[in-house]
């Protein structure tokens, strides 16, 4: 979730500095080029001054006019060249920084624990990865450089104006004082509104993403109108914030434009009087106002540039809110290695509670003791909400235990490198997640190298075990793109591909969270038969919500009120454990997967 950070612009830039440091020389060259262009622009009025005082009078030489014209033309071309150089110097470095920061952002997101992602909306993360970094790049390439150049241009220009006439210079300086005071107020207000705007845009992106993912639910329940109304409210809130931003910037721009113009008018009157009294020559007066015209552009640009800088500060702060988040699932300083992994998994007095659990409530897992022998299949049963899925997520360290320990072949999971642990443990969740890739890429996502087997052989075996041969009937077979989250497939088909992915990984420990819930009985029986033959040496912990799944296990563990209250065979527990009989009686009826091969055959027979 987003949070407001109160720090200064320099604090934000200090965090950005390490990313800019490698390209700083080219950015400085870009700054120098932009500054040189401004200095050249300020030199042109001085040419006018000399021209008027030496050549533009009765009897003046024409050569002076042509010489002045040539100098002005040369300075104009030089200014254009410096502007072109600025762009050449800064474009590549700015995009390089943007790309590296975006890649680093994604890498950091991948490393952060699940509990972080549970707290943050996907739209907030997406807006930080895309919009904020894009804005930072534009600010680095243009806003930051031009803000410095604008400030220096105004400073140099005002100094030149004072050197030509201190009386007229004081008039412009008097106009600058209110601008400075108003600028401080503008900075505070605009910075707050800019942060609110970017956070609201992130929330809006989250809403759009959730609506797209849940479009079937919205349509099925006829709630599209309500979803649109809720979205419209959010959009209007963002609109109001953007209007407030625009009004703040408009007022500031009005001030920084109006006051210099008033000073210009007042200065013109005073300048004419000075010329009339012989205290200033005409050439100096023309040069003064030509310099004032050059300075006027940067002064007017200071409003938008200041707004851009404040918005960039907000983007930097939002980016580092995520980058500063600490990964709670860390590798040990001196990780141990498992040479010959057998797969004995032991839960010893395991406690776990979620970070947002209310104080005083009992732990979700309150002292779990359970031993899975190497190569054993253990079914885990319990009433809904008792912590079965939570217990499974502790095995690959998606969460860490808050008390007790889990060991693999006698080694605490926290003493193993996370990557090594997850090469030994494979997971298939009840809520399947597939990616917008081909069937082949989805199944082989976590596949390790199998000695003596090619990827094609691993893929074929995994699909066979999961009874997912339906993929060969897809338009491009295993190379068919299955769409975002695999929503073009049925629930049973998605589950079979997720199971195939877990099998293809060739794990020592296989963790299955009710992976067969969407399959019909016949398909489930075939899957279970193939699983027994392929996973004989694999330790398997499976959450069971169906009697048929329980029957395939060597032993069954009953999770009750955060603890394992019984472990035994299905037959033994039926005879001796009352809560087990209650749980078994409450398990769901067998569902039908209408996309299974048997059901399709039956349907065709009925139609015939």
User: Is the model's pLDDT at 598 over the cut of 80?
Assistant: no
Q: Which residue has the higher pLDDT, 539 or 518?
A: 539
The percent of residues in the chain predicted with pLDDT above 70, rounded, is 92
Q: What is the mean pLDDT of residues 77-104?
A: 92
pLDDT on residue 607: 31
CB neighbour list of residue 216: distance below 8 Å, 6 or more residues apart? 487
pLDDT on residue 89: 92
The DSSP symbol for 457 reads: H
pLDDT on residue 604: 37
pLDDT on residue 391: 93
Strand ranges of the sheet holding 509-513, from the earlier edge strand across to the other edge: 425-428, 509-513, 539-543, 377-381, 555-560, 563-568
User: Is the model's pLDDT at 406 over the cut of 90?
Assistant: yes
Q: What is the mean pLDDT of residues 36-45?
A: 86
User: Is the model's pLDDT at 3 over the cut of 60?
Assistant: no
Q: For 49-63, how does the pLDDT look when each residue is reduced to its tens digit (9 = 90+)?
A: 777 777 666 665 677
CB 538 within 8 A of CB 342: no
* Out of 88-102, 294-308, 395-409, least confident range: 294-308
The residue among 512, 448, 444, 509 whose CA lies nearest residue 478 is 444
Strand ranges of the sheet holding 365-372, from the earlier edge strand across to the other edge: 365-372, 345-352, 403-408, 411-412
* Out of 340-349, 402-411, 487-496, least confident range: 487-496
- Domain 14-323 classified CATH 1.20.1560.10? yes
Q: What is the mean pLDDT of residues 156-169?
A: 86
* Out of 351-365, 422-436, 593-607, least confident range: 593-607
Q: For 437-486, how does the pLDDT look when each residue is reduced to its tens digit (9 = 90+)?
A: 888 988 888 776 666 678 888 888 888 888 888 889 888 888 988 876 67
CB 380 within 8 A of CB 557: yes
- Residue boundaries of the structural domains of the chain: 14-323, 345-607
User: Is the model's pLDDT at 600 over the cut of 70?
Assistant: no
CA dihedral 110, 112, 368, 428 (to 10 degrees): -20
pLDDT on residue 599: 40
pLDDT on residue 321: 92
Q: For 252-286, how does the pLDDT look when each residue is reduced to its tens digit (9 = 90+)?
A: 888 888 888 888 888 888 888 888 888 888 888 88
Q: Which residue has the higher pLDDT, 415 or 545?
A: 415
Q: For 291-321, how does the pLDDT look when each residue is reduced to its tens digit (9 = 90+)?
A: 888 887 788 787 788 888 888 999 999 999 9
Name the band, by pLDDT with cuts 50, 70 and 90, for residue 603: very low
The percent of residues in the chain predicted with pLDDT above 90, rounded, is 25
pLDDT on residue 563: 93
User: Is the model's pLDDT at 394 over the cut of 90?
Assistant: yes
Q: What is the mean pLDDT of residues 391-401?
A: 92
What 3 state SS string does 376-442 have? CEEEEECCCCCCHHHHHHHCCCCCCCCEEEEEECCEEHHHECHHHHHHHEEEECCCCCCCCCEHHHH
pLDDT on residue 58: 62
| Average pLDDT of the chain, as a whole number | 84
Q: Which fold has domain 345-607?
A: Rossmann fold (3.40.50)
Q: Is 278 helix (H, G, I), strand (E, B) or coil?
A: coil
Q: Which residue has the higher pLDDT, 220 or 68?
A: 68
User: Is the model's pLDDT at 201 over the cut of 80?
Assistant: yes
- Tell me the C-alpha distance between 127 and 134, whole Å: 10
Name the band, by pLDDT with cuts 50, 70 and 90, for residue 105: very high
pLDDT on residue 133: 93
pLDDT on residue 100: 94
The sign one gets for the Cα dihedral 12, 16, 20, 24 is positive
Strands (E) across 145-259 are located at none
CB atoms within 10 A of CB 384: 8
The structure tokens listed for 282 are: 């005409």
Name the band, by pLDDT with cuts 50, 70 and 90, for residue 487: low
- Tell me the C-alpha distance between 577 and 61, whole Å: 116
Sort strands 365-372 and 403-408 into parallel, antiparallel or unpaired: unpaired
Residue 61 vs residues 46, 111, 212, 282: alpha-carbon distances, Å: 19, 76, 76, 18
């Amino acid at each position: 979730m987003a949070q407001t950070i109160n720090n200064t612009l320099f604090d934000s830039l200090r965090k950005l500095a390490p990313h800019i440091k490698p390209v700083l020389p080219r950015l400085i060259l870009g700054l120098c080029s932009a500054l040189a262009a401004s200095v050249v622009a300020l030199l042109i009025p001085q040419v006018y001054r000399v021209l008027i005082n030496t050549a533009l009078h009765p009897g003046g030489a024409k050569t002076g006019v042509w010489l002045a014209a040539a100098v002005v033309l040369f300075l104009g071309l030089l200014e254009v060249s410096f502007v072109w150089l600025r762009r050449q110097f800064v474009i590549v470095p700015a995009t390089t920084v943007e790309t590296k920061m975006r890649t680093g952002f994604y890498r950091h997101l991948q490393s952060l624990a699940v509990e972080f992602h549970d707290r943050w909306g996907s739209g907030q993360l997406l807006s930080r990865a895309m919009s904020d970094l894009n804005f930072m790049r534009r600010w680095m390439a243009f806003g930051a450089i031009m803000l410095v150049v604008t400030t220096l241009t105004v400073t140099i220009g005002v100094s030149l104006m004072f050197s030509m006439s201190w009386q007229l210079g004081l008039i412009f300086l008097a106009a600058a004082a209110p601008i400075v005071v108003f600028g401080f107020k503008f900075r505070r207000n605009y910075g707050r509104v800019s942060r609110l705007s970017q956070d609201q845009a992130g929330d809006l992106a989250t809403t759009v993403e959730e609506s797209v993912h849940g479009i079937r639910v919205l349509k099925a329940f006829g709630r599209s109108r309500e979803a649109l109304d809720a979205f419209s409210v959010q959009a209007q809130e963002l609109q109001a914030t953007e209007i407030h931003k625009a009004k703040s910037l408009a007022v500031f721009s009005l001030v920084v434009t109006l006051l210099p113009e008033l000073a210009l008018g007042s200065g013109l009157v005073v300048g004419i009087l000075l010329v009339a009294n012989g205290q200033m020559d005409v050439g100096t007066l023309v040069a003064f106002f030509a310099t004032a015209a050059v300075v006027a552009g940067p002064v007017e640009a200071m409003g938008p540039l200041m707004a851009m800088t404040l918005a960039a500060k907000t983007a930097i702060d939002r980016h580092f809110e995520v980058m500063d988040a600490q990964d709670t699932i860390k590798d040990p300083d001196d990780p141990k290695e498992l040479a010959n992994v057998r797969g004995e998994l032991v839960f010893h007095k395991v406690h776990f509670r979620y970070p947002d659990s209310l104080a005083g409530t009992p732990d979700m897992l309150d002292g779990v003791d359970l031993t899975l022998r190497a190569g054993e299949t253990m079914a885990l049963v319990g009433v809904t909400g008792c912590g079965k899925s939570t217990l499974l997520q502790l095995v690959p360290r998606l969460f860490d235990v808050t008390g007790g320990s889990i060991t693999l072949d006698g080694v605490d999971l926290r003493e193993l490198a996370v990557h090594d642990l997850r090469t030994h443990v494979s997971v298939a969740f009840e809520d399947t997640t597939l990616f917008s890739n081909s069937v082949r890429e989805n199944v082989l996502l976590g596949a390790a190298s199998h000695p003596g087997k090619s990827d094609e052989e691993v893929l074929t075996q995994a699909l066979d075990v999961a009874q997912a041969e339906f993929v060969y009937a897809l338009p491009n077979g295993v190379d068919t793109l299955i769409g975002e989250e695999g929503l073009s497939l049925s629930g049973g088909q998605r589950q079979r591909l997720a199971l195939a992915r877990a099998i293809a990984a060739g794990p020592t420990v296989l963790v299955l969270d009710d992976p067969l819930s969407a399959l019909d009985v016949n398909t489930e029986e075939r899957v279970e038969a193939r699983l027994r033959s392929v996973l004989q040496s694999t330790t398997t912990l499976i959450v069971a919500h169906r009697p048929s799944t329980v029957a395939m296990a060597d032993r069954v563990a009953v999770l009750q009120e955060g603890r394992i209250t019984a472990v035994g065979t299905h037959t033994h527990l039926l005879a001796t454990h009352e809560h087990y009989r209650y749980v078994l009686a409450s398990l769901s009826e067998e569902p039908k997967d209408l996309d299974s091969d048997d059901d399709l055959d039956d349907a065709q027979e009925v139609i015939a």
